[in-house]
Amino acid sequence: MDGVLAKIGLMNRFFLTNEISDNKITKNSEPDFYHHLVDVLRARPGKKIELVSQTELYDVTIENVDEDAITFNEIEKKESHSELPIDVTIVVSNLKSDHTDFLIQKSTELGVSKIIITNFKNTVAKIKDDKKIQRYQKIVQNAAEQSKRLKVPEVEIVNKLSQIDFSQYETKIVAYEESAKNGEKNQLVKSINNTGHGLVAIFGPEGGIDPDEIDSLKQAGFVLAGLGPRILRAETAPLYLLSAVSYQKEMN
Amino acid sequence: MDGVLAKIGLMNRFFLTNEISDNKITKNSEPDFYHHLVDVLRARPGKKIELVSQTELYDVTIENVDEDAITFNEIEKKESHSELPIDVTIVVSNLKSDHTDFLIQKSTELGVSKIIITNFKNTVAKIKDDKKIQRYQKIVQNAAEQSKRLKVPEVEIVNKLSQIDFSQYETKIVAYEESAKNGEKNQLVKSINNTGHGLVAIFGPEGGIDPDEIDSLKQAGFVLAGLGPRILRAETAPLYLLSAVSYQKEMN
C-alpha cells in the first residue's frame, strides 16, 4: 500500500516517542510501538526494522520479543535526507466530507512540517477545539512512517484564523487563485527562493477566503501568491505548494 | 465546492460536444448540457455562464429557456490560458478502493492531458476493458469544468502496459523512487526543461513496478526519474509531477 516502485526489502519504519538508550525497548516506555510490532505485525527474532527517534534513523534487527520488552542485536545509525530543507507550515480550513483527512495525509507524504486546521469565515464544516486531533495525529503518523520521513508533522486545531500567531514565520503567503489569473506568476517562485528556513502558507475553504480576512493577512505581512492558472480545490492547492517547494529546493 | 479563494461572480463552466454555430443550443444537440443547466441548475434568463467549445471559451448570457433549446443574447469570446503549455500524459495502474477516482480527479485539476489506466504485473485490483470508462470520463469532465480548463483530458483503459504505444512521445519518464534515494536529482528537472511539446510519465501500482517492466521501458526509451526523497503513494506521485511541470513551465 505504500509506494510507486518495487520495494523488495523496504523495511517497516516506526517512530518512537523517546530516545533510544540501549538495545531494549520496553512495552511500558513505547506501548504503541510494542503493540503494533508484536500484536499487529507479529514480528519475530531476525526481523529488520527501521526506528526513528528524535529525527535520527536506526536500522535494527530484533533479537528477542517477550511480554514486557523487545531487544535488538544490531543497532545501526543511518543517513537520511527525507525531510524538506525548509519547514513548511500550512494553515487550512476544515473541509467537508473526508477531505481534511486526505489533505493531511497527502501533505505529510509531501513533506509538510506543521498543519494548522482552523475555521475561516466561509468554512462550512466548522471544527471544534481538539475533538478530532487524535484522529489527525494518527493519520499523519502513519503517513510519515509510510513515506519514510524522519519527523511526524505537528497538527494543531485553532478555533479562528485570527487567533493564530504568525510572528515567528520568515515568509508568509496566501494561496490566491485570482493572482495567477491576473498575470501574477512570480510571487510563489520568489517566496520559495527567498526562504532560508521556513514558510507558512494559508489555504482557504471551499467557498474561498473572505476579503476582510485577506486584508488582515496582508497587514500581518502575508503576500498573495497564485498556484498556476487552474482553479485548485481546497484540498489540492497545498499539495501543489509542497510539490513546488520540493521541486525547487530538493531537485534543482 | 471548487476553489480555495473567494469566487464571487465566478461562473459555471460547461463543455460542449459541438461547435457553437449561433445563439441557440438545442436539447438534441447537447443533451447533457441542457439537462444540467435546465433540470439541475434551473437556470433562468439573465444568468451568465461560460461555455467551452473546441478549446475556445465564451461568456454567454441566457436569453430564453424552452423545452427544446436555450438561446443566448450575448456571446463573447474570451482569452484563457488555463492549459499547461506542454501535454502531459500519465500512465497509471488501476488502484484499490477509490484511489483511481481520486487520482484522475486531482490530475485533471493539475492540468493532465491524457490518462491511461492499465494493469502492471503488481496491480492488485486489475481493471477490465472499458467497464469503468464512462465513470472516469464523468469525473474528469467535472474536474475540468471546476478547475476552469479548456480541455477535458482523455481517459483510456489498456489491458496491459506492454500494449501501449509510446512511439509518439518526445520525452518519456518512469517515476522511480529509488532514483532519488540514490542521489539522482536532476533527471526530472532535465526531462521537464527539455520537453518542447509533451511528455509521458509512468507511475506504478502500490506494490511497485516489476524490474522486468522497468527493463522493457528503458528499452522503449524511458528514463528513470525520482520525485524527491520521500516515498509517495501511487495516487500522490502523479500530482507531484504535474505540480512540478506547472511550477517550472507556468510560474518561472
Q: Do the Cβ atoms of A5 and B177 come within 8 Å? A: yes
| Block residue for cell numbers 423545452 | B67
| Res A169 pLDDT > 50 | yes
User: Could you tell me the three cell numbers for B29?
Assistant: 444537440
| Res A130 pLDDT > 60 | yes
Contacts of A251 in chain B (CB under 8 A): 185-186, 188-189, 226, 228, 244
DSSP state for residue B39 in the 8-state scheme:
I
Q: Report, as an integer, the average pLDDT of A134-145.
A: 94
Q: Report, as an integer, the average pLDDT of A112-138.
A: 91
Please count the residue pairs, one from chain A and one from chain B, whose beta carbons lie less than 8 angstroms apart: 198
Question: Percent of chain A scored above 90 by pLDDT?
Answer: 75
How far off is chain B from A161, nearest CA to CA, in Å?
15
Q: Report, as an integer, the average pLDDT of A30-52.
A: 92
Q: Do the Cβ atoms of B109 and A175 come within 8 Å? A: no
Q: How far, in Å, CA of B193 to CA of B94, rounded?
A: 29
Q: How far, in Å, CA of B127 to CA of B104, rounded?
A: 15
| Res A65 pLDDT > 70 | yes
Nearest to B41 by CA among B32, B54, B52: B32
Sequential pLDDT tens for chain B (252 residues): 334 333 434 688 999 999 887 899 999 999 999 999 999 999 999 999 999 998 899 999 999 999 999 999 888 899 988 999 999 999 999 998 899 999 999 999 999 999 999 999 999 989 886 778 999 999 999 999 999 999 999 999 999 999 999 999 989 999 987 665 565 668 999 999 999 889 999 999 988 999 999 999 999 999 999 999 999 999 999 999 999 999 999 998
Local confidence band at A159 (pLDDT 50, 70, 90 cut-offs): very high
CB A105 within 8 A of CB A140: yes
CB A230 within 8 A of CB B108: no
What architecture does CATH give domain A13-78?
A: Beta Barrel (2.40)
Q: How far, in Å, CA of A141 to CA of A152, rounded?
A: 6
| Residue A22 pLDDT | 83
> Domain B87-251 falls in which CATH fold?
Alpha/beta knot (3.40.1280)
Q: Do the Cβ atoms of B110 and A232 come within 8 Å? A: yes
CB A199 within 8 A of CB A171: yes
User: Could you tell me the three cell numbers for B186?
Assistant: 536532476
| Residue B220 pLDDT | 95
Q: How far, in Å, CA of A242 to CA of A111, rounded?
A: 7
Question: Percent of chain A scored above 70 by pLDDT?
Answer: 92
Q: Do the Cβ atoms of B231 and A1 come within 8 Å? A: no
Q: What is the pTM of this model?
A: 0.90
Q: Do the Cβ atoms of A231 and B81 come within 8 Å? A: no
Local confidence band at A4 (pLDDT 50, 70, 90 cut-offs): very low
Contacts of A188 in chain B (CB under 8 A): 247, 251
Local confidence band at A10 (pLDDT 50, 70, 90 cut-offs): low
User: Could you tell me the three cell numbers for B210?
Assistant: 516489476
Q: How far, in Å, CA of B129 to CA of A226, rounded?
A: 39
Facing residue for A109 by CB, picked from B6, B10, B233: B233
Interface test with B, best of A231, A235, A252 (most B CBs within 10 A): A231
Q: Do the Cβ atoms of A247 and B247 come within 8 Å? A: yes
| Res A1 pLDDT > 50 | no
Local confidence band at A6 (pLDDT 50, 70, 90 cut-offs): very low
Length of chain A: 252
Listed as own residue / partner, the contacts of B67-73 with beta carbons closer than 8 Å and 24 or more positions apart are B67/B27, B68/B26, B68/B27, B68/B28, B69/B24, B69/B25, B69/B26, B69/B27, B69/B34, B70/B24, B70/B25, B70/B34, B70/B37, B70/B38, B70/B43, B71/B23, B71/B24, B72/B23, B72/B24, B72/B25, B73/B23
| Residue A183 pLDDT | 59
Packed helices B133-146 and B99-109: angle between N→C axes, nearest 10 degrees: 40
* Residue A118, beta-bridge partner list: A93, A158
Closest residue in B to A103 (Cα–Cα): B236
Strand (E) or helix (H) holding A134 = helix A133-146
Closest residue in B to A237 (Cα–Cα): B4
Local confidence band at A75 (pLDDT 50, 70, 90 cut-offs): confident
| Residue B196 pLDDT | 86
Domain definitions of chain A by residue range: 13-78, 87-251
Q: Do the Cβ atoms of A230 and B110 come within 8 Å? A: yes
